[in-house]
Chain A
Amino acid sequence: MDRRGFVTGAAALAAAAVGGLARGQSQRAPVARRSLLTCTAQFDPARPEIARLVAQACKSIGWEVQANPMDYNQGIQKVIMEHDFEMYLVYFPGTSIRIDPDFFIRGVHDSSEDKRGGFNWMGYHSPQVDALATAQARLMKVGERHKPVVDAQSAIFADQPGTVLVYSQMTMAHRSDKLSGLVPQLGEGIGGFWSDINMRATGDGYSRSGANADVKHLNPIAVVDSTEFAELSILYDRLLRLDPSGKPVPWAASAMKFVDDKTIDLTIRSDMHWHDGKPVTADDVKFSFDYHKQWKAPFFLTALNNVASVELPDAHTVRIKLDNPSAPFVSNVLATMFIVPRHIWEGVAASGDPLRFANEKPVGSGPFKLDYWRRGSELKMSAFKAHFNAPKCAGIIRIVYGSQDALATAIANGECDRTRYVLTPALVDRLKTVKNVVAKGYPSHGLYHLSYNNRIKPFDDPAFRQALNFIMPRQMISQLVLLGYADPGASIISPTNDAWHNSAIKVPPENVKMARDLLSKAGYSWDAQGRLLSRA
């Protein structure tokens, strides 16, 4: 080889090496495969199916997601306690304390709730949302509070720390030949308080309401689950009640007045009695607050830590002073916490820990009183005729069925009049064909939510999360998995909660091209096999 040939060859080699290096530097890694945690079908038949549909949809943008159902309690531990997850499909039931927007705005999205056991397991941090969340919680007037709630929904929707998939209905059934006068209630369907006191039952006047699990206890101090709340809410009274649309209305307190933003005066009715005949007094109400706080009732702990004092300016008035203004206090404490008799619960505390007291013979002042409780079988409650709003039926017999199928069959046969809670959509569809059975979906503010762990890639990128919003198979989930008993979702507050819902937020179209365009603009690309590649 001559000198010229050698130089030419060396130059070509060098050029090839530089070109190879440049190509190597521009090659990006595929977006990491992620695991979508959810519960097993035994706990909720819908969620594993929804997870599989979401995983399938993610393939349309070249990204691999694997659905991973696991034991419900194990999932709670990993996600809520340890934050050890990537994606989590969760169902937020429409319970009464979630009608107030504070839960979905501040509880789920405020950065202070990013803690072990907190509801901001996504680890979402937004100064804008934090400011709006704090503001809405402190504004006691509904008119003033509305704007920050609406603005917070817009900010959350734009950021997509998690994606709202669908709003579900409460699928329930009852026999029209046995019961009349049922009053559907937001988040509780026909199994709630207003149906309990307004319904009439044929025959012996008792309604037979079916459930799939027995209550664990009847302790109003230790209560945390909706199963126990449902029965305690008719055995005990509250200062206020949430009406069927979710607005607080007077109950044991005949009037409520805001002295200032941190002071609430409640006038207690003088015509109430405990089931043992003793009168209910303002002192019992003060005792109830002090007792819940002293024994750290788990459900009300955080809210009651904001109570500075409870005073009795006169025999019929209770004055509550808060450390800070708290808008959710009205719905989530005054309309949720139970009034308990001092003459019973002082004795409970004297003999042990009230949180571990089963309270199998409860003495409340509610519209129903307990007749007996056969553990695992039934709970019989009769109307308390001396109540100021006595029920129209003779009573309720709460029957435990071993499975949803057994409950549905009992409704079909007439052995049971009403479902206390939700039946699966498939069973409700089956009951639609049975004579004298009304089986349908009732409005609920519950929703299925896809939570992303905002602390890890690629969910730390808002553009990526926003793109995902356009590929979610909402229609398929609503129609195929939930059999039409759900609607595609967008805002974190459901349209059924029309007092607080931001109607300007629309359900995004399912549009893969829009998702890809968003990703491209954000710097993502795809390889020759169609795999989504990370940003440079």
Chain B
Amino acid sequence: MTLYLARRTMSSLITLLGVAVILFVLFRMMPGDPTAQVISPALDQAAQARLKHAFGLDLPLWQQFFIYLKNMLTLQWGQSFTTGQSVAALLGHWLLNTMLLMSAGLVLAVVIGVVLGILMAARRGGVLDHVATVAGLVFQAAPPFVIAIVLLIAFSYKLELLPSSGMVAAGTDDAGTWAMLTSADFLKHLILPTITIGAVYVATPMLVMRDSMLEVLGSDFVEFARAKGLRPSRVLFGHAARNALLAVVTVSSLILGFAIGGQIVIETVFSWPGMGKAMVDAALQHDYPVAQAAFFLMAVVVIVMNLLTDLSYSLLDPRIRFGTT
């Protein structure tokens, strides 16, 4: 296990290094002068030179690269070109908002998907099987903003049950992050975006779980469990499901990668101040420090989540041991 962890960590670091190089090159290939955003051409030459030096933009590209690499890997992400704020503070704020939204939505998608997948496999060919398959595929094919807007129209505008935007109601005093996150108001604001993400991503775990369950239900040990006289629900959830979950775990880490990159639309519709919109704004404004750090952070999150997913296999299936032949 230790050897496996060491190997995975090394390969993760190499992957991150590759990501960092690609980000550096891509952003500098973008048309437009980044200094134009922050260094007014009305400034005299001395002032322009001073600001360029402060941002490190007067150095040769190869020097900028090594400074960038060192800073990226040591989490010294500097200051935003446009806001002057610490990039780490900005990203921490946005990442927390996006992780809250994404976690809630993906947990909903996976839980509902898994449960539905089990039931669909148990009643293969039944009404639930057909209806859930069609519904899941429809939600997956529909653009996320369409689902979001339909939910908004129904629950926010017509029924006036849920708020339409933001994380908390406007005007509530700023009592601190923890107080906000544990408030009923925040949870109420979380419902519609969570359901949207859940709807968008439910199809994959549901169908994968269904197929995996169908395979497992035909296994000898399931026959044996039935022969022992165990209740059908115990056979299904206690024995078969646990073995079928491995495939869903694999697919969940893939969904995570898509979800992290695809939050911009949902964040825009619900005015949720997260990473998606911030990343797009930073890229368009040539705010290099923020854009580079944001994309790098996303890569770190995906890599870490993939590693955790791999490690969870051994919990689900004791036969899996890492580093053994």
Q: Does A pair with B?
A: yes
Question: A residues touching B (Cβ–Cβ < 8 Å)?
Answer: 71, 73-74, 76-77, 80-81, 116-118, 204, 206, 208, 213-214, 216-217, 219, 222, 224, 296, 298-299, 301-302, 353, 355-358, 360, 371-372, 374-378, 380, 397, 399-403, 406, 409-410, 413, 415
Within the complex, the shortest CB–CB distance from B284 to chain A, in Å, comes to: 7
Which candidate, B5-13, B77-85, B219-227, is the interface stretch facing chain A? B77-85
Task: Name the contact of A371 in the complex, choosing from B33, B167, B174, B269 (C-beta under 8 A).
Answer: B174
Which residues of B have CB within 8 Å of A402? 165, 267-272, 277
Which residues of A have CB within 8 Å of B173? 371-372
Q: A402-B272, A406-B165 are in contact. List 19 more A-B contacts (CB 8 A).
A: A73-B285, A81-B41, A296-B47, A299-B40, A301-B40, A301-B47, A355-B51, A356-B54, A371-B173, A397-B170, A399-B166, A400-B271, A400-B273, A401-B271, A402-B165, A402-B270, A409-B164, A415-B163, A415-B165
Q: Which residue of B lies closest to A359 (CB)?
A: B84
Task: Name the contact of A77 in the complex, choosing from B31, B84, B174, B277 (C-beta under 8 A).
Answer: B31
Q: Are A217 and B83 in contact (CB under 8 A)?
A: yes
Q: Which residue of B lies closest to A213 (CB)?
A: B281
Which residues of B have CB within 8 Å of A206? 171
Task: Name the contact of A301 in the complex, choosing from B42, B97, B267 (C-beta under 8 A).
Answer: B42
Could you write out 7 A-B pairs with CB less than 8 Å apart? A296-B44, A301-B44, A355-B84, A375-B273, A400-B273, A409-B164, A415-B170
The reply to whether the CB of B315 lies closer than 8 angstroms to some CB of chain A is: no
Task: Name the contact of A356 in the complex, choosing from B32, B43, B84 (C-beta under 8 A).
Answer: B84
Bound CA span A224–B285, Å: 14
8 A Cβ contacts from B18-74 to A: 31-33, 36-37, 40-44, 47, 51, 54
Interface of B is mostly: loop
Q: Are B269 and A406 in contact (CB under 8 A)?
A: yes
Within the complex, the shortest CB–CB distance from B187 to chain A, in Å, comes to: 16
Bound CA span A216–B270, Å: 21
The reply to whether the CB of B278 lies closer than 8 angstroms to some CB of chain A is: yes
Q: Given A76-B36, A117-B42, A402-B165 in contact, is the A397-B171 Cβ separation under 8 Å?
A: yes
Which residues of B have CB within 8 Å of A403? 268-269, 271
Q: Are B32 and A406 in contact (CB under 8 A)?
A: no
The reply to whether the CB of B94 lies closer than 8 angstroms to some CB of chain A is: yes
Which residues of A have CB within 8 Å of B281? 213
Interface centre among A208, A301, A356, A402 (most CB of B within 10 A): A402
Bound CA span A222–B84, Å: 10
Q: Are A376 and B93 in contact (CB under 8 A)?
A: yes
Which residues of A have CB within 8 Å of B4? none
Within the complex, the shortest CB–CB distance from B95 to chain A, in Å, comes to: 12
| Residue interface mask B152-177, A partner, CB < 8 A = 1 | 10001100000111111011011000
Q: Are B41 and A117 in contact (CB under 8 A)?
A: yes
Within the complex, the shortest CB–CB distance from B43 to chain A, in Å, comes to: 6
Which residues of A have CB within 8 Å of B163? 415
Task: Name the contact of A376 in the complex, choosing from B37, B42, B171, B278 (C-beta under 8 A).
Answer: B278
Q: Are A415 and B171 in contact (CB under 8 A)?
A: no
The reply to whether the CB of B210 lies closer than 8 angstroms to some CB of chain A is: no
Q: Are A358 and B83 in contact (CB under 8 A)?
A: yes
9 smallest CB-CB distances across A and B, nearest first, come from A117-B41, A376-B273, A372-B174, A298-B40, A402-B268, A402-B271, A356-B84, A216-B83, A73-B32
Which residues of B have CB within 8 Å of A357? 84
Task: Name the contact of A413 in the complex, choosing from B85, B164, B269, B272 (C-beta under 8 A).
Answer: B164
Which residues of A have CB within 8 Å of B84? 217, 219, 222, 355-358
Q: Given A81-B33, A380-B171, A402-B277 in contact, is the A375-B43 Cβ separation under 8 Å?
A: no
Bound CA span A415–B171, Å: 11
Bound CA span A298–B37, Å: 12
The reply to whether the CB of B90 lies closer than 8 angstroms to some CB of chain A is: yes
Q: Are A208 and B171 in contact (CB under 8 A)?
A: yes
Q: Are B43 and A298 in contact (CB under 8 A)?
A: yes
| Residue interface mask B282-302, A partner, CB < 8 A = 1 | 001110000000000000000
Which residues of A have CB within 8 Å of B54? 353, 356
Q: Which residue of B lies closest to A116 (CB)?
A: B41
Task: Name the contact of A410 in the complex, choosing from B51, B165, B167 (C-beta under 8 A).
Answer: B165
Q: Are B174 and A217 in contact (CB under 8 A)?
A: no
Within the complex, the shortest CB–CB distance from B319 to chain A, in Å, comes to: 47
Q: Are A77 and B32 in contact (CB under 8 A)?
A: yes
Within the complex, the shortest CB–CB distance from A431 to chain B, in Å, comes to: 14
Within the complex, the shortest CB–CB distance from A95 to chain B, in Å, comes to: 16
Which residues of B have CB within 8 Å of A80? 41
Bound CA span A409–B152, Å: 11
Which residues of A have CB within 8 Å of B51? 355
Within the complex, the shortest CB–CB distance from B315 to chain A, in Å, comes to: 37
Bound CA span A375–B274, Å: 10
Task: Name the contact of A378 in the complex, choosing from B85, B170, B269 (C-beta under 8 A).
Answer: B170
Bound CA span A409–B160, Å: 13
Bound CA span A298–B35, Å: 13
Which residues of B have CB within 8 Å of A409? 152, 157, 164
